[in-house]
Structure 1
Amino acid sequence: MKQIFIVLLLSICCLSCSDFLDREPLTTPNSDNFLVGHSQIENYINGLYMALPSLPKFGMGVRGEEKNSDNILAENYDRRLNGELRVFDGGTDWNTGYQNLRGVNYFFTYYKVDPTLESADILSLKGEAHFLRAFWHFYLLSRFGKIPVMDQLWDQRATLDGLQIPAKDRTEVVKFILEDLTKAKELLHSRSKFKGLRLSKEAAMIFAMRVALYEGTWQKYHKNTVFDAEDNQSVYFLEEVMKWGDELFLLNTLTLHEKGNGTAQSEEEAFGQLFNQKDLSSISEVVFWKQYSNASGIFHALTGLLGTGVVDQAGPAGLSLELVNNYLNSDGTFIHPHDAIHKDFNQMFVGRDARLTATVMHSDTKFRSSASGAKPLLVQAYSDADKDIINPPYLKGDGQNKNVTGFHIRLGVDETFVSGNGETAFGVIRYAEALLCYAEAAEELGKCDDNVLNKTIKVLRERAGVTYIKPSLIDPSFSDFGYPLTANLQEIRRERRSELALQGYRLDDLMRWKGHKLFQGKSGRGAYFGHDGVLYQSFPDIDAPVLATILIDNENWMHPLQQFLPGGYQFKENRDYLMPIPPDELVLNKQLDQNPNWN
């Protein structure tokens, strides 16, 4: 017989890995000695951290996640983008969100510290719980829209009647999230206390900016559609972004990691160090991060996968040409993607934004240490004299090591890696995101003046070695959203894609911007692969039969998904902006309505 409200009563897997919790079952706590001291509380909160985003022991994790957008093209394409989801496909996300919310609310229910004994450290841990409750509510909101708010433990009401809980409007949900983040901010230590290894005051503020920007723009671009909030308060949320940002700037505790900081000798190296270092404690820009150590048995598979050129562990994939074309020239000018220079795999990277060269593999960059026997990528016309050093992208073969666009991931590559497990740190929240959120909210509100641009977009571009030019022109080659953008908004969106590529933001951005025009009916392109191009010429003649199987379009640009998506992604814009609520939940909770057009 099916259990009532499966998501809340089945698994508490996000908590079960803590030895402390194993000693005392969650279902029968002793209220006299459970969650009353610092060590007990810290152990419990540590267990809640385990469900947060991280790099897995198997797979690419966040670095390969953006095949759910226009940044990565994968033969094992994202089913949501292609309108292939079924009504049951929201179950995993729904369960994940509410299981983790149960764990957080369990903490609030059984937190029994006497107010006179609440030290700053204990209160900071309580602040972490407020952050985590906000995090998981936002996780659910961004996938399902209107949801029941879980502001208390529901175990005591686990009857069919007790669980008839209506969903709250988007605006109510987001205001609840921001209230939790306000409490978190007031209780949490600053980043400096734990060097970014625990949630902090600054992390709560930046996450609040993320949430408020998401909802402010969602409500603006989905206004008067089936996805709109009942109580549309777009302007309010955009103003909240700026309010939180102003408060964050006043703290003056965070700075961008730039050339000349530490060991960074170039703009490319400075940006790369945010992703390829084992210790980020001295880089305040990385506000919250996860540390890995083989000695501690905490490691990931990403380093080894990047070292062999993998983009998607599920099969052949590659970064998209559209992502590569997003980056400016280093002199601040637009590129002209149809110019002959962009048909040359090497020349297309010359004189570009340093974030491009830090993000995408190009000639003379390493997949891993040469001590491992791996050769650096090197694209040049093939000759017997140079055959031992030429190493073009891995376009041959099949499986996860095959690249289908010519563009491998460089972001996070550990060039000192030889073998074994990955130990590079994973940055979860960065200060750069706050600058991008602030600029975007200001422009949406008509408040993006020179002062705003100078402290946001200008400093980000200059960190990347790009000459700052005040936005004034519309780039005819920029992404077409199906509606007009101001010059400021065009450059803010360009900057966001450049700065946050392969870090898990792109799908949310496309959804909140109502951006289906960027990919609907399209399937992306890769590098130029005409016989006159150096990429094709870097392979020996003996490979000609294999090269002939590589799919290209009428202008010789790689077009790898044409056989899988002959009509491009078939995203259903009247349905797929939200995930389907699991049918089991609709049966059990009659107060819930299915999301638009999923019935």
Structure 2
Amino acid sequence: MKKLYILFILAGAFLSACSDFLEKAPITSPESGGYLASEEHLTSYVNFLYTGLPTLETYGMGVFGEEKNSDNILAQNYERRLNGELQESNGGSKEWEKGYKGLRDANYCLHNYAVPEMNETDKILSLKGEVYFFRAYWHFYLLTRFGSIPIMDDLWDEHATAQGLQVPATDRGKVAKFILEDLDTAKKLLYPRSKYKGLRVSQEAALILAMRVALYEGSWEKYHAGTDFAAATNASTEFFQTVITLGDELFTKGLKLNKKENDPFNAKDGGEAFAHLFNQYDLSDISEAVFWKKYSISGGLTHGLSALLSQGTVDNSGPAGLSQSLVDNYLYDTGLPIDPADDKFKDFNRTFEGRDLRLIQTVMHSDCRFKADSDSKPMKVEIRTDENKDEVVPPYLLAGDNQRSITGYHIRLGLDPLFNKDKKGGETALPIIRYAEALLAYAEAAAELGNGTCEASILEKTLQPLRERAGVTYVAPTEIDPNYPVFSDQYTLTPILQEIRRERRAELALQGFRLDDLMRWRAGKLIQNQRGKGAYLGKEGVLYRAFSTDQADELDKITLTADKWMDPLAEWLPAGYQFNTDRDYLLPIPLNEINLNEQLHQNPGWRK
């Protein structure tokens, strides 16, 4: 067995799923005859599988900082993929290694599973279901990054030879169907959410992940049809219908949005109920948090997000800020879209007046505190005078290092209302899978099946409750918003699809969805030759005048557009992001994998 492991390691990163794990002593040895044959061993191993899922990092932003890979966050340390800077030699190595490590770990468990059928309790079967969930999760991780991939449906250790490694990639559509089959198996074995209050994956989590997979592949196959990125067969209609079928099953499970009326933390309005999904310590009693991760000082697991947010950080690797386009995405509370060209939005404070409450909870604005210390002053954007100078606290446009906002917009979502200088670590929970995502997926799939339209009743049970929770009057989408961004020259959106995409961006901001959405929608036009902008900083505006006169020289060094909006990436991206629409929708398969496995072929556009 040891010789086999050595061969496997030497085989290279194609099977890198084993690399880290094999350096650790196993729980017990397969040769002992009792390996993964008991509930204790199985529980221990499956708990280990959870460590690869999205997290909040000890020293970083974790999930909340990911969206500098999209148009939601502008970062001085910008995403190289968006600028077409990745190289074939190493552009996808980290992701390939991570994905196949996750698959290897899951398959190792399934391959060595040795619980006799007579001893398979409901708990053991649910644990087995969790392993199928993780195998599906990692195949989907790879699908979104590389498209067609070799399916790892068994433990490749058993044939780790040059000949055994000749595994062809499976067409992306078939990969998606394999993932859905694994999730169906998982669903049938898993406990419902109520068993562990969302702290472990569940039937409902498997259903929502399956909806995510089917929606992703359906829209990819629709919008990339006829390109080098297309699946062998366009089965988009079948995948969209799968979303509807899964959603109809999910709707019988009794999940609810967290609203003012049922919020366990006594929210004063729907916006605060939404915020409580991200700034509380225990989400057990919020069924919308279908799957979430708990942090606690007493439990020995904390994160660095609370400290970073309390300092104004958006990207822990350098100055950054939320984009103006994200701010412009949110509706008025009347249900109508804004006109970004309206002069009133040059006033930082008026930008937040009468808007979707999710904007209020996602972006820092006047009267919000960064932290709970009694001497901590809330942000206050006001024309500075001798009388109020001690109270005015503008965004950190002139701060040093990572605390500096390059757009004027800091993150409020996830800000711990109890965090102070004496806390030893962050304890706010991380929602990983939410019921809200399922509502959005259902609405989008229904509209795609209806060629951009769908029954009013579907929107009334999906979009309407999300908007009403956010304090937005629901208005049935009937007219095109002329100010809504253009995603592509290859297609136009109906009013309903516009509003579904708007709603998705508002509801899922800073939760790691935006890049995948842009890729599956073939939305290169939103990226290519664009670089985003920040808040208005004209000298007559309140944001500029919130700083003292002796800071004017530093303020005047900030690059602005011709009409005085902050242009933070002009120096680094003078022509905007150089996203290559003939290549960058997928990452390159690592060259060492292609050299090892002669049946692999490089993704489109990467071979010069």
Smaller-chain TM-score bracket: over 0.9
> Cα distance 1:324–1:10, how it changes in 2: closer, same or farther (>3 A)?
closer
Task: Name the SS for the 1:78 alignment partner.
Answer: coil
Paired letter, 1:62? V
Give the superposition deviation at 1:85: 0.3
Give the superposition deviation at 1:397: 3.3
User: 2:510 matched to 1:468?
Assistant: no
Task: Name the SS for the 2:432 alignment partner.
Answer: strand
Give the superposition deviation at 1:526: 0.5
Paired letter, 1:465? G
Q: Could you tell me which residue of structure 2 aligns to residue 598 of structure 1? A: 606
User: 2:364 matched to 1:361?
Assistant: yes
Paired letter, 1:259? K
Give the superposition deviation at 1:100: 1.1
Paired letter, 1:360? V
User: Structure 2 matches for 1:522-537, cutoff 5 A?
Assistant: 522-537=530-545
The question of whether the paired residues in 1 share the 8 Å contact of 2:17 and 2:103 is answered with no
Deviation string, structure 1 residues 413-435 (Cα, Å, up to 9, x no partner): 01211132101000000000000
For residues 181 and 518 of structure 2, what CA distance do their matches in structure 1 show? 26
The question of whether the paired residues in 1 share the 8 Å contact of 2:292 and 2:429 is answered with yes
> Cα distance 1:365–1:14, how it changes in 2: closer, same or farther (>3 A)?
farther
Paired letter, 1:148? P
Give the superposition deviation at 1:329: 0.2
Deviation string, structure 1 residues 265-298 (Cα, Å, up to 9, x no partner): 1122111101000000000000000000111220
Deviation string, structure 1 residues 509-538 (Cα, Å, up to 9, x no partner): 000000010121011010010011100010
Q: Could you tell me which residue of structure 2 aligns to residue 317 of structure 1? A: 320
Paired letter, 2:226? N
The question of whether the paired residues in 2 share the 8 Å contact of 1:14 and 1:47 is answered with no
Q: Could you tell me which residue of structure 1 aligns to residue 11 of structure 2? A: 4
Paired letter, 1:418? N
Candidates 430, 434, 439, aligned match of 1:430: 434
User: 2:85 matched to 1:84?
Assistant: yes
User: 2:386 matched to 1:384?
Assistant: yes
User: Structure 2 matches for 1:59-458, cutoff 5 A?
Assistant: 59-87=60-88, 88-251=90-253, 253-260=254-261, 261-262=263-264, 263-371=266-374, 373-419=375-421, 420-446=424-450, 448-458=454-464
Unaligned runs of 5+ in 1: none
For residues 352 and 270 of structure 2, what CA distance do their matches in structure 1 show? 14
For residues 288 and 31 of structure 2, what CA distance do their matches in structure 1 show? 42
Task: Name the SS for the 1:417 alignment partner.
Answer: coil
Alignment identity in percent?
A: 54
Q: Could you tell me which residue of structure 2 aligns to residue 479 of structure 1? A: 485
Give the superposition deviation at 1:370: 3.2
Give the superposition deviation at 1:30: 2.5
The question of whether the paired residues in 2 share the 8 Å contact of 1:143 and 1:578 is answered with yes
Give the superposition deviation at 1:6: 2.7
For residues 18 and 313 of structure 2, what CA distance do their matches in structure 1 show? 33
The question of whether the paired residues in 1 share the 8 Å contact of 2:27 and 2:45 is answered with no
Range with greater deviation from structure 2 (384-393 or 221-230)? 384-393
Paired letter, 1:47? F
Paired letter, 2:475? I
Q: Could you tell me which residue of structure 2 aligns to residue 588 of structure 1? A: 596
The question of whether the paired residues in 2 share the 8 Å contact of 1:191 and 1:202 is answered with yes
Give the superposition deviation at 1:14: 5.6
Deviation string, structure 1 residues 109-147 (Cα, Å, up to 9, x no partner): 111111111111110000000000000000000000000
For residues 127 and 105 of structure 1, what CA distance do their matches in structure 2 show? 12
Paired letter, 1:338? A
For residues 150 and 231 of structure 1, what CA distance do their matches in structure 2 show? 22
Paired letter, 1:326? N
Paired letter, 1:58? Y
Paired letter, 2:482? P
For residues 461 and 518 of structure 2, what CA distance do their matches in structure 1 show? 25
For residues 5 and 102 of structure 1, what CA distance do their matches in structure 2 show? 14
Give the superposition deviation at 1:15: 8.1
Deviation string, structure 1 residues 157-180 (Cα, Å, up to 9, x no partner): 100001100000011100100000
The question of whether the paired residues in 1 share the 8 Å contact of 2:17 and 2:100 is answered with no
The question of whether the paired residues in 2 share the 8 Å contact of 1:343 and 1:527 is answered with yes
The question of whether the paired residues in 2 share the 8 Å contact of 1:269 and 1:358 is answered with yes
The two structures have a TM-score, normalised by structure 1, of 0.97
For residues 353 and 12 of structure 1, what CA distance do their matches in structure 2 show? 47
> Cα distance 1:349–1:9, how it changes in 2: closer, same or farther (>3 A)?
closer
The question of whether the paired residues in 2 share the 8 Å contact of 1:382 and 1:540 is answered with yes
Give the superposition deviation at 1:5: 3.3
Paired letter, 1:492? I
For residues 11 and 298 of structure 1, what CA distance do their matches in structure 2 show? 26
Instruction: Indicate the RMSD between aligned Cα atoms, in angstroms.
Output: 1.3
For residues 6 and 432 of structure 1, what CA distance do their matches in structure 2 show? 37
The question of whether the paired residues in 1 share the 8 Å contact of 2:17 and 2:99 is answered with no
Deviation string, structure 1 residues 291-330 (Cα, Å, up to 9, x no partner): 0011122010000000000000111100000000000000
The question of whether the paired residues in 1 share the 8 Å contact of 2:16 and 2:100 is answered with no
Q: Which segments of structure 1 move beyond 4 Å, counting only runs of 4 or more?
A: 9-12, 14-17
Q: Could you tell me which residue of structure 1 aligns to residue 3 of structure 2? A: none
Task: Name the SS for the 1:429 alignment partner.
Answer: strand
The question of whether the paired residues in 2 share the 8 Å contact of 1:272 and 1:358 is answered with yes
The two structures have a TM-score, normalised by structure 2, of 0.96
> Cα distance 1:14–1:398, how it changes in 2: closer, same or farther (>3 A)?
farther
Task: Name the SS for the 2:52 alignment partner.
Answer: coil
Range with greater deviation from structure 2 (480-489 or 6-15)? 6-15
Give the superposition deviation at 1:9: 5.3
> Cα distance 1:346–1:14, how it changes in 2: closer, same or farther (>3 A)?
farther
The question of whether the paired residues in 2 share the 8 Å contact of 1:259 and 1:270 is answered with yes
Paired letter, 1:336? D
Paired letter, 1:324? V
The question of whether the paired residues in 1 share the 8 Å contact of 2:295 and 2:301 is answered with yes
Q: Could you tell me which residue of structure 1 aligns to residue 49 of structure 2? A: 48
